[in-house]
């Protein structure tokens, strides 16, 4: 039927004219769709598994092509925009548009964190960039890999090469040594032979969660990811909310200079796992999520094996522990950003309140603990609160795992009384490296800034460093000597924050970039930098932007002659 133009006010058509045969945008490639379906197999197509599925594609093909992403969008019933925005957020995904050349099969990531820079990573990066065939090998800069005790470090494929040199890299390439190497560690059978999981099973049979919470509180244990919140107290907050409730393990140990969690997981993973299951029992968690950074491939494999062993032994139901793999985003160490990533999204920090104890994973109450915190929860429940509360130094109670690197003789993880000073830490690490005199130190990662050697009598613990404009954070201690520049160290820290800002809020996104530019000037504009620092501290959404000014302010305060 149609209305003639001459007789009326227009023309009606039947709808059988020309129309689109396909939807707008990229079309699904049948071959790519078949490849994606084969790759995913029987895995669920749930939205929260998007990052896991992106890893599958990246691992299989070495990059994420537009045709595969379009096919993945079709298979998961998501828009291409959703797939692309998530994949492009994370540093370890290589997106390749139509017509672009995929990256080479082999990638070398050279760590450029402060410890590695002190050990010569810049010269190593330049030598590798000049000496490798770019058609065969891609050489990239990368943030801290959690191996600061063996700096300089690089990752060849998934193989970390400690104390790296051009020669050692060339030898590994020639041998095809590009896979992670698993260190010797305590397996489930070894752990059970030593009484492991006996406490968990006893609690499940007839335990009182409130008594366990009181035991943890009596030990004085505080969150060892950096926040320092009394660990047991979280349990009551989470349990007070209606279920289902979840537990999330924050294994995204991305603060440069920090490697204590890796140290423990590569040796005694079941202490963390038993601590996690005790905490999950206490809050009646329906599921446990372990979020582990992608820079720890050996730890990821250890956890896969040992979780499977726990399932086979009947200690947990299959699927109760859900291991999730990060994708190269420092911001996901912030608990709400980590939860967003667990849900398969970009790791953007949430506005608070509500807090994750009320509204966490999938909108449900969630208990979040750091890896080392759970390690100690297991030990406290097995050995009693006195293993921490019975130790006192400089009026501070407990123990602290210090990740020590930089200009010391023996970098590594050192378990010391919480009241230890920087002099105690340096002594535990064998003293200063030969030919170096103590000048400055970073007490808890870049967020804690840089303190001078004159402040060598301050206990490195929670609440003791705040009067000096710093904090203990993750206890990542980097020691500088008279041969190092405090100004250059601060610039290294701010470049890290600039690279790792999630970009959600302007004070952090624009502030870090502006700070790096101002810090590269021959002479610092200190009034302008202080004004910028104040804005970032006051207006940033999360701790990244709020703490980023610390290196700037402390260098201006303690090392004015350098700026």
In 132-268, alpha helices (H): 166-175, 188-193, 198-206, 209-219, 233-239, 260-265
pLDDT over threshold 50, residue 181: yes
Q: What's residue 228's pLDDT?
A: 79
- Mean pLDDT score of the chain, rounded to an integer? 95
pLDDT of residue 243: 86
Question: What is the pLDDT at residue 2?
Answer: 46
Q: What average pLDDT does this structure show over 362-376?
A: 97
Does residue 3 register a pLDDT over 70?
no
More confident of the two residues 501 and 17: 501
Please confirm whether the linkage preceding 17 is cis (ω < 30° from 0).
no
- The predicted-structure confidence for 333-350, as pLDDT tens digits, reads as follows 999 999 999 999 999 999
- In angstroms, rounded to a whole number, what is the distance separating the alpha carbons of residues 279 and 285? 8
- Residue 379 CA to residue 372 CA, distance in Å, equals 11
Question: What is this structure's pTM?
Answer: 0.94
The 3-state DSSP class for residue 36 equals helix
- List the alpha helices (DSSP H) in 132-179: 166-175
Q: Residue 232 has what pLDDT?
A: 83
DSSP string, 488-544: HHHHHHHHHHHHH--SSSHHHHHHHHHHHHHHTSSS--HHHHHHHHHHHHHH-SSHH
Q: Mean pLDDT throughout 267-282?
A: 98
In this prediction, residue 229 has a pLDDT band, given cuts at 50, 70 and 90, of confident
Q: What letter would DSSP give residue 445? A: S
**Cα torsion angle, 350, 353, 356, 362, sign:** negative
Whether 399 shows a pLDDT value over 60: the answer reads yes
Q: Cα(227)–Cα(463) distance, rounded to whole angstroms? A: 11
- Averaged pLDDT, 513-526: 97
> Given this model, what pLDDT does residue 174 score?
96
Mean pLDDT, range 269-278, rounded to an integer: 98
Condensed to tens digits (0 to 9), the pLDDT of residues 46-99 reads: 999 999 999 999 999 999 999 999 999 999 999 999 999 999 999 999 999 999
Work out the number of other CB atoms within 10 angstroms of the CB of residue 27.
Answer: 11
pLDDT of residue 43: 97
pLDDT for res 16: 64
Whether the predicted pLDDT of 284 surpasses 60:
yes
84 exposure class (CB count in 10 Å sphere: 0-12, 13-18, 19+): middle
Dist CA 499 CA 513 (whole Å): 9
CB 247 within 8 A of CB 218: no
Cα-atom radius of gyration of the chain, to the nearest Å?
26
Burial 334-357, CB ≥16 within 10 A → b, else e: bbbbbbbbbbbbbbbbbeeeebbb
Task: Report the alpha-carbon angle 180-186-187, nearest 5.
Answer: 85
In which band, very low, low, confident or very high, does the pLDDT at 24 lie, cut at 50, 70 and 90? confident
Q: pLDDT, tens digit, for every residue of 240-261?
A: 999 899 999 999 999 999 999 9
Q: Of residues 299 and 26, which shows the higher confidence score?
A: 299
Tokens 């209606």, residue located: 242
């Amino acid at each position: 039927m149609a209305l003639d133009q001459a007789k009326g006010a227009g023309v009606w058509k039947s709808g059988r004219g020309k129309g689109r045969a396909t939807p707008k945008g990229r079309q699904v490639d049948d071959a790519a769709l078949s490849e994606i379906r084969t790759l995913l197999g029987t895995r669920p197509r749930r939205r929260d598994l998007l990052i896991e599925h992106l890893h599958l594609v990246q691992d299989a093909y070495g990059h994420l092509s537009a045709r595969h992403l379009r096919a993945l969008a079709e298979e998961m019933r998501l828009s291409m925009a959703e797939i692309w925005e998530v994949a492009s957020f994370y540093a370890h995904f290589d997106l390749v548009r139509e017509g672009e050349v995929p990256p080479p099969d082999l990638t070398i990531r050279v760590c450029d964190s402060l410890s590695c820079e002190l050990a010569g990573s810049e010269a190593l990066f330049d030598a590798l960039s000049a000496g490798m065939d770019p058609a065969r090998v891609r050489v990239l800069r990368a943030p801290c890999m959690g191996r600061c005790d063996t700096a300089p470090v690089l990752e060849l494929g998934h193989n970390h090469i400690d104390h790296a040199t051009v020669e050692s890299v060339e030898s590994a390439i020639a041998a095809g040594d590009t896979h992670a190497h698993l260190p010797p560690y305590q397996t489930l059978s070894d752990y059970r032979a030593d009484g492991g999981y006996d406490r968990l099973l006893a609690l499940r049979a007839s335990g009182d969660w409130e008594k366990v919470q009181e035991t943890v509180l009596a030990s004085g244990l505080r969150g060892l990811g950096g926040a320092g919140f009394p660990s047991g107290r979280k349990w009551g907050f989470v349990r007070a909310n209606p279920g289902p409730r979840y537990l999330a393990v924050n294994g995204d140990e991305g603060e440069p200079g920090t490697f204590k969690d890796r140290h423990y997981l590569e040796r005694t993973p079941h202490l963390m796992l038993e601590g996690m299951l005790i905490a999950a029992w206490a809050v009646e968690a329906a599921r446990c999520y372990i979020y582990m950074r992608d820079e720890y491939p050996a730890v990821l494999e250890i956890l896969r094996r040992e979780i499977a062993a726990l399932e086979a032994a009947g200690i947990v139901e299959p699927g109760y522990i859900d291991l999730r793999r990060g994708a190269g985003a420092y911001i996901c160490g912030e608990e709400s950003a980590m939860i967003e990533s667990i849900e398969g999204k970009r790791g953007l920090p949430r506005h608070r309140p509500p807090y994750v104890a009320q509204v966490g994973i999938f909108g449900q109450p969630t208990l979040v603990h750091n890896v080392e915190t759970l390690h100690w929860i297991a030990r406290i429940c097995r050995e009693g609160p006195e293993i921490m509360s019975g130790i006192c130094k400089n009026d501070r109670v407990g123990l602290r795992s210090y990740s020590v690197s930089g200009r010391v003789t023996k970098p590594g993880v050192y378990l010391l009384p919480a009241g230890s000073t920087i002099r105690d830490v340096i002594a535990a690490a064998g003293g200063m490296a030969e030919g170096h005199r103590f000048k400055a130190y970073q007490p808890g990662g870049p967020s804690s800034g840089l303190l001078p050697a004159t402040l060598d009598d301050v206990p490195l613990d929670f609440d003791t460093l705040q009067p000096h404009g710093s904090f203990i954070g993750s206890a990542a201690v980097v020691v500088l000597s008279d041969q190092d520049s405090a100004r250059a160290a601060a610039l290294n820290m701010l470049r890290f924050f600039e690279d790792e800002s999630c970009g959600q809020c302007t004070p952090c996104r624009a502030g870090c970039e502006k700070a790096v530019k101002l810090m590269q000037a021959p002479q610092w504009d200190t009034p302008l930098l202080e004004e910028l620092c104040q804005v970032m501290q006051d207006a940033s959404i999360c701790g990244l932007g709020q703490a980023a000014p610390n290196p700037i302010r402390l260098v201006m305060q303690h090392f004015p002659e350098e700026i």
